[in-house]
Structure 1
Amino acid sequence: MVAHLLRLKLTLLANGLKRSAWQVVGLVIGVLYGLGALVLVVSGMIALSFADAELRQPVAVLVGSLMVIAWWVVPLISFGVDSTLDPARFVTFAVPRRSLLVGLALAGVVGVPGVITALSSLSIGIVWWRDPLALVTGLVGAAIGLALAIVGSRATTTAALPLVGRRRVREAMAGLAIVPLLLVGPLIGRFSSGVSVGIDDLRGVADVLAWTPFGAPWAIPADVAGRDWGLAAGRAGVALGVLALAAWVWAKALAYGLVNPPHNEASAKRRGLGWFDRLPATPVGAVTARCLTYWARDPRYALAAAIVPVVPFILWVLDRDGGALLLAGPIAAFLLGWGISADVAYDGSAFWTHVASPVTGRADRWGRVLSAGAIGLPVILLFAVGSALVTDQPEAIPALVGLSLGVLLTGLGVASVVSAYVVYPVQQPGESPFQTRQGASTAALTSQLVGWLALLVISAPEIVLAILAVRAGSLSLGFATVVVGLGLGITVLLLGVRYGGRALERNGPVLLQRILAFS
């Protein structure tokens, strides 16, 4: 049965690659990315093997701990990254639980993340090659660490499935998780620019992690190399004890999940028609109401909206002097204006209603533009005015407002054209907003880069004027930025809606066919 599950995993992966060329492209990109990370880890461990034992232990513990923690945490945010062997699919089959557990655990190693993790774990164990006994212990510890990563990941995701299976919980987790993810880079950059980390700091963190299930397997060979058998036995007890506990939790959660598979919750409350009650009963009003509902209730749109409030804080962290904070308004305008470029792809199979109904392409474009504009306009005005006041540059308000409005309107216009020509695999409704569909990388990257370049070129006049106005503190140049930004932005928006609407009417059936092929 275990061998059958492994063959099934490989068959599912192979069949997925046959669905489209984009699946193969996505796999190649994933493999290249994984190989790059593997080369960094392996080369680092080779260099570490020639260092002193005082440095080998903390670095090995830190690297190994990061891998195990990533396996435990990332699937919770992504709501199950690998669903090819979803346990719920085995509900109707009489598969022995022990065989299912072993098969699913080994299947977790099959795939790019599993193979990269296994090889990285092996390289950490080989760090102790100069001491034969420590080398053997290191290889055993690497195997325990890999098992802790796989089994712990399965245990946490299976046990949390009844909770994260609820839509509202998934939406809340997605909104909360994006904030620390966005702040990690700026905080690390700020920290590294002003704080030096020494071996004593690394050793202190590693000493703590060495007594946790994340770092214990990687600390055992150092204890063996120092012939400290008591510490080695204690850390082995922690690692094996938690591994047994994780296996028990996974077995119990899996048994419960097979008997009580998750199901979608039906809402018991009637909330009326929402935005459809408040907006005119016209094609434009209907599309606008539906898109506003998406922005409020769809976690994929909520994720994009959650990024915007973090922008000023990131800019402030990057530049405490306040100069970068002036970019908050234009950056928010870009994010919100360009946000509708994937609207048609996010519609999924529901896009058939646009193709089948007598809604014109121009009405569709205006509905999407008005919904994004209603959200974006007050936000960018608040950021533009607030950033100027916080940095004590009130004379920059006209320039920032003009630039932000121009970028928002231009972004909406260009996105209206791009989304009428290009669709690519995106997260389906109910899936994690962090999950990337196979085959999406190249198509998404190409269309986004072309659209961004067009937006940058078209917005160049107001960008130049805004820079000159802020540097010179000139109100006249600032008001000129408002005139140019509004004039150019409105022109691009009108042209984008017009030609984007025509393109949508012409390409609608083709776009729908592509979307259905992605699902």
Structure 2
Amino acid sequence: MVAELARLKLRLLVNGFRRSIWLTIGFVLGTLYALALATFVAGGVVVTGVVDPGVAGDAVVLLGALLVAGWWIGPLLTSGMNNALDPRRLAPFGIPRRQLVIGLAVATLIGVGGLALVIVALATVAAWSAHVAVMPVALVGAVCGVATCVVGSSALSAILAPVMESRRARELSGLVIALLGIGVWLVFVGTSQDLTFVISPESFDALLGSLGSVLAWTPLGAPWALAGDVVDGAWLALAARVAIVAATLLLAWRGWSWALARELTGGARQERSVSVDGLGWFGRVASTPTGAVAARAATYWRRDPRYSTSLAFVPIVPVVIIVISGGDLTTSALMLTGPIIAFLLGFGISSDIAYDNSAFALHVTTGVSGRADRWGRVLPVLFVGLPVVVLAVIATAAASGRWDLLAVTLGVAVMTFLGTLGTSSVASALYLYPVPEPGESPFKSAQSASLAPLIGQFGAIAVAGVASLPVLVLAGLTLLLDLPVLGVVTAVVGAVLGAFALVVGVRFGGRVYDRRAPELLQQVLSYR
């Protein structure tokens, strides 16, 4: 049965590539990238062990602890990720629980993530090449570490599944992963530029040793510390860490088995229904096709985590720019905040049809025109986004003290916002790509993503850039010649040209929509 589940997982993985050649190309490129990254990390660990055997143990423990933490926490933050071998689908076959747990654990390793984990785990063994005698112990520790990653991750996901199935939990997990990712990136940027101090090699070794010593006594790092205990002759510590590893695996195994039993017999929990008074936005807009689409789009932006999570990036833009500019609030780079926010908001509707999922059938069956559909999706973003962009430009001008750049920045930002809305109206009717389904994590990876729509999205960005060239040229002349009058001209031209680009984009996108509506519906439904 274990071999059958592993074969089934491999078959599901292979069958997913038969839908499209672009899917296969995209998967191959993603696999090469992931394996290259894993190989780079593995090579770094091996080189560290060869060049400086004294820090090999601490480096291995730190890397192993990061692996375990990533495997444990990652699925909780990306709770909407696909689970091809959902245990509830296997319930009718009456598979013994022990075989089911072992089979699912083995199947978890079949894929890019499992292969990358094995590569890095083997590198932790090679890192002990200066002490060949302890490499078998390191191999045992690596096997235990991989088991801790897989069993612990599956146990936490299964135990917390009823909690993570709630919409609020999915929204929170999406926000947390966004903030964590941005935070890690900001720390990396800050440390790679200037943090007003330099860590000496001696200080770094001491810091690495301290972290390794602490993590080695936790379930995260204990499996990877076994070889180091043998090298040091710390037999009592070795016995204690073996006990930690055994207890961790036993508790995780029992917890996973219990959670599977609950899931197979109790079914999924149902969320409590939420009562809503009134018609919401539908009672506040005109009773027209455009108004109905606008009301639904506004409801999406307010209630759908796939939309609201993307809005979390908007207030972080100035923080990112401040970090990149070295914390100097007076820098003119801060004036880029407005145009960047404008682009993020304007390009946010480029995947609206895909986000509709099966609800898009209502547009096709009721004969909603392309003009009504395009304007209905644009208007909520336009009414809310334009004031946000203007306020962002004014706020950054006040923070940086560069009031002389207010007019020119406003022209660039408004042109970027309106022009991107126009090009997004065309792009979303030309190219669709898989997105998380309603109720899923905003960070779910779409397995059927292809390369062609991605090229189309980049093409839309390029078109928006070309449309903004006149305003960008005026902005460049304003900065080069230092003429405030040209700044005012830039603001006026940006508003007029942006409005023209928006109207043209919506009209052209409406025509494309009218011509491709049935094809778009078929494509959306194929992603389910």
TM range (shorter): over 0.9
The residue that corresponds to 1:416 in the other structure is: 425
Say if 1:361 and 1:504, in contact at 8 Å, map to a contact too: yes
SS at 1:350 equivalent: helix
Q: CA RMSD in A?
A: 1.8
Verify: 1:438 aligned to 2:447, yes or no.
Answer: yes
Q: After TM superposition, give the deviation of residue 376 of structure 1 in Å.
A: 1.1
Counterpart AA for 2:9: K
The residue that corresponds to 1:365 in the other structure is: 374
SS at 2:442 equivalent: coil
The residue that corresponds to 2:328 in the other structure is: 321
Give, in whole Å, the separation in 2 of the partners of 1:196 and 1:445.
41
The residue that corresponds to 1:217 in the other structure is: 223
Verify: 1:504 aligned to 2:506, yes or no.
Answer: no
The residue that corresponds to 2:263 in the other structure is: 257
Which stretch of structure 1 is more off in the superposition, 46-55 or 428-437?
46-55
Counterpart AA for 2:518: P
The residue that corresponds to 1:233 in the other structure is: 239
Per-residue Cα deviation, 1:285-307 (whole angstroms, up to 9, x for no partner): 11100101111111111121111
The residue that corresponds to 2:37 in the other structure is: 37
Give, in whole Å, the separation in 2 of the partners of 1:441 and 1:45.
34
Call closer, same or farther: CA 1:80–1:345 in 2, change over 3 Å: closer
Q: Aligned to 1:374, which of 374, 378, 383?
A: 383
Give, in whole Å, the separation in 1 of the partners of 2:480 and 2:396.
15
SS at 2:314 equivalent: helix
Counterpart AA for 2:169: V
Give, in whole Å, the separation in 2 of the partners of 1:472 and 1:262.
66
SS at 2:101 equivalent: helix
Q: Aligned to 1:196, which of 198, 203, 212?
A: 198
Give, in whole Å, the separation in 1 of the partners of 2:324 and 2:21.
40
Per-residue Cα deviation, 1:461-501 (whole angstroms, up to 9, x for no partner): 22233345457664322211111101110111111111110
SS at 2:387 equivalent: helix
The residue that corresponds to 1:457 in the other structure is: 466
Percent of matched pairs sharing the same residue: 41
Give, in whole Å, the separation in 1 of the partners of 2:274 and 2:404.
53
Give, in whole Å, the separation in 2 of the partners of 1:463 and 1:69.
46
The residue that corresponds to 1:94 in the other structure is: 94
Say if 1:22 and 1:438, in contact at 8 Å, map to a contact too: no
Give, in whole Å, the separation in 2 of the partners of 1:268 and 1:285.
24
The residue that corresponds to 1:488 in the other structure is: 497
Call closer, same or farther: CA 1:21–1:272 in 2, change over 3 Å: farther
Q: After TM superposition, give the deviation of residue 266 of structure 1 in Å.
A: 4.5
Verify: 1:291 aligned to 2:294, yes or no.
Answer: no
Say if 2:88 and 2:264, in contact at 8 Å, map to a contact too: yes
Which stretch of structure 1 is more off in the superposition, 178-187 or 494-503?
178-187
The aligned runs of 1:258-273 (5 Å cut-off) are 258-273=264-279
Give 5+ residue unaligned stretches, structure 1: none
Call closer, same or farther: CA 1:82–1:354 in 2, change over 3 Å: closer
Give, in whole Å, the separation in 2 of the partners of 1:463 and 1:260.
61
Say if 2:142 and 2:224, in contact at 8 Å, map to a contact too: yes
* TM-score, structure 2 as length reference: 0.94
Give, in whole Å, the separation in 2 of the partners of 1:250 and 1:375.
46
Which stretch of structure 1 is more off in the superposition, 349-358 or 498-507?
349-358
Give, in whole Å, the separation in 2 of the partners of 1:81 and 1:125.
31
Q: After TM superposition, give the deviation of residue 89 of structure 1 in Å.
A: 1.5
Q: After TM superposition, give the deviation of residue 233 of structure 1 in Å.
A: 1.9
Q: After TM superposition, give the deviation of residue 427 of structure 1 in Å.
A: 1.4
The residue that corresponds to 1:163 in the other structure is: 163
The residue that corresponds to 2:142 in the other structure is: 142
* TM-score, structure 1 as length reference: 0.96
Call closer, same or farther: CA 1:374–1:165 in 2, change over 3 Å: same
SS at 2:298 equivalent: helix
Verify: 1:280 aligned to 2:282, yes or no.
Answer: no
Give, in whole Å, the separation in 1 of the partners of 2:113 and 2:173.
23
Call closer, same or farther: CA 1:271–1:33 in 2, change over 3 Å: farther
Q: After TM superposition, give the deviation of residue 20 of structure 1 in Å.
A: 2.8
Counterpart AA for 2:223: P
Give, in whole Å, the separation in 2 of the partners of 1:280 and 1:458.
32
Give, in whole Å, the separation in 2 of the partners of 1:390 and 1:468.
24
Give, in whole Å, the separation in 2 of the partners of 1:378 and 1:177.
28
Give, in whole Å, the separation in 2 of the partners of 1:471 and 1:207.
57
Which stretch of structure 1 is more off in the superposition, 338-347 or 77-86?
77-86
SS at 2:351 equivalent: helix
Call closer, same or farther: CA 1:80–1:337 in 2, change over 3 Å: closer
Counterpart AA for 1:50: V
Say if 1:80 and 1:157, in contact at 8 Å, map to a contact too: no
Verify: 1:301 aligned to 2:303, yes or no.
Answer: no
The residue that corresponds to 1:105 in the other structure is: 105
Counterpart AA for 2:430: Y
Call closer, same or farther: CA 1:250–1:219 in 2, change over 3 Å: same
Per-residue Cα deviation, 1:94-136 (whole angstroms, up to 9, x for no partner): 2211111111111111111011101210121122133243101
Counterpart AA for 2:328: D
Give 5+ residue unaligned stretches, structure 2: none
Give, in whole Å, the separation in 2 of the partners of 1:176 and 1:516.
30
Give, in whole Å, the separation in 2 of the partners of 1:130 and 1:202.
19
Which stretch of structure 1 is more off in the superposition, 63-72 or 466-475?
466-475
